[in-house]
Amino acid sequence: MTKKILVTGGAGFLGSHLCERLLVEGNDVLCVDNFFTGSKDNIAHLIGNPYFELIRHDVTFPLFVEVDQIYNLACPASPVHYQFDPVQTTKTSVHGAINMLGLAKRVKAQIFQASTSEVYGDPEIHPQTEDYWGRVNPIGIRSCYDEGKRCAETLFFDYWRQHKVDIKVARIFNTYGPRMHPNDGRVVSNFIVQALKGEDITIYGSGQQTRSFCYVDDLIEVIVRFMNASKDFVGPVNIGNPGEFTMLELAERVIALSGSKSKLVFKPLPSDDPKQRQPDIGLAKQELDWEPKVSLDDGLRQTIKYFETKI
Ligand code: NAD
Ligand code: UDP
Ligand code: UDP
């Protein structure tokens, strides 16, 4: 049966891939975005499809529509963008969550929240499991994002307990792929753009800090599985690729795969930058029968191909 599905942040990197996937499955998709970091280019190929609708709207304001499912992805995700207007970032996470939960409550829709590994802050346990409460600085430059997303999780669980809203909360670990914003400052897009332009590759700090990178197709698959899984499984659930790499290793792979002659340069490490990050995905494996399939090299090849067309 065709479902009416709202995707907030649908013109962004992850949102545009999700809209595409939901349309392929025969759903009626309503994309809501204020185009802060998203772009019409990401969804231009969907405009004209009678089952795709686009509304320019900021989720910090109420929204009255009738839908069966809501994927709440609206929020800038890269440090450069979420620190540009930090007050708006917190409003987007918190007021945005309240409005989307109010909507879900009124129309009895299922609602998915794109939470983040950032809720763990600079973690003391490794790899991170869902029962870890995190180590987050409440007053630092990343707090608008981390604490905003933590408060959004609180709201989701309170609407679930108090109003019986059908929630799904996923903690997304670093994800990359085509349609990342070329200037958004995230490490994968920065390194690829620098490598393709033959510019210096900027390593922040020693480059020994680690991240675990998931290719976008693997992530979209598990998001959709989660939304359609048993109502009793609400999360929070970690989703990401457990393969862990230092930023130096990532830079070396990008250089090798793009055939670049770029050199590494070292820049200061931004404050509160987590030293290590790797998801424990045991829960996602068990409950959703899912694990990522795309290797870092294969994913980087696809992403390099995309940026070649952009540069
Ligand atoms: P993105 O910046 O490409 O997408 C975010 C989208 O939300 C953009 O299209 C932007 O214009 C829109 N938006 C921002 N504020 C809005 C507002 N107030 N009202 C309406 N739209 C608004 O980032 P992304 O990587 O696609 O991230 C999508 C979601 O996934 C975010 O919530 C992010 O926090 C979460 N997430 C992403 C990652 C990752 O590695 N990509 C990791 C963890 C969590
Ligand atoms: N809301 C919305 N769309 C709806 C229903 C509610 O945007 O279809 C907003 C509403 O404006 C409110 C928020 O969601 O600010 C929370 O709604 P809820 O019903 O939980 O709280 P209340 O309206 O009682 O404050
Ligand atoms: N980073 C880097 N060079 C860059 C951009 C980022 O070394 O040009 C580092 C950054 O300091 C962090 C890691 O790469 O340690 C991942 O950064 P990103 O902003 O992609 O994600 P997040 O820190 O939010 O996980």
pLDDT digit string, tens, across residues 120-140 = 999 999 999 999 999 999 999
Q: Whose CA is nearest to atom 11 of ligand 2?
A: 62
pLDDT for 249 equals 98
Residue 151 Cα to ligand 3 midpoint, Å, equals 24
Which pLDDT band holds residue 26 (cuts at 50, 70, 90)?
very high
- φ, ψ of residue 144 to 5 degrees: the values are -55, -35
Q: Ligand 2: which atom is nearest the Cα of residue 63?
A: 7
pLDDT for 271 equals 87
Beta carbon of 63 within 6 Å of any ligand 2 atom: yes
Beta carbon of 116 within 6 Å of any ligand 1 atom: yes
pLDDT tens, position by position, 172-225: 999 999 999 999 899 999 999 999 999 999 999 999 999 999 999 999 999 999
pLDDT tens, position by position, 69-123: 999 999 999 999 999 999 999 999 999 999 999 999 999 999 999 999 999 999 9
pLDDT for 233 equals 98
Q: Across residues 6-33, what is the average pLDDT?
A: 98
Beta carbon of 187 within 6 Å of any ligand 2 atom: no
Q: How many CA atoms lie within 13 A of 77 on its CB side?
A: 24
Distance CA 130, CA 305 (A): 35
pLDDT for 272 equals 84
For residue 310, the tally of other CB atoms under 10 A from its CB is 14
Give the global pTM: 0.97
pLDDT for 198 equals 97
Beta carbon of 77 within 6 Å of any ligand 1 atom: yes
Residue 97 Cα to ligand 1 midpoint, Å, equals 13
Distances (CA, A) of 133 to 2, 49, 125, 161: 38, 43, 10, 19
Beta carbon of 114 within 6 Å of any ligand 1 atom: yes
State what percent of residues in the chain have pLDDT above 70.
Answer: 100
- The catalytic residue positions are 145
Nearest ligand to the C-alpha atom of residue 145: 1
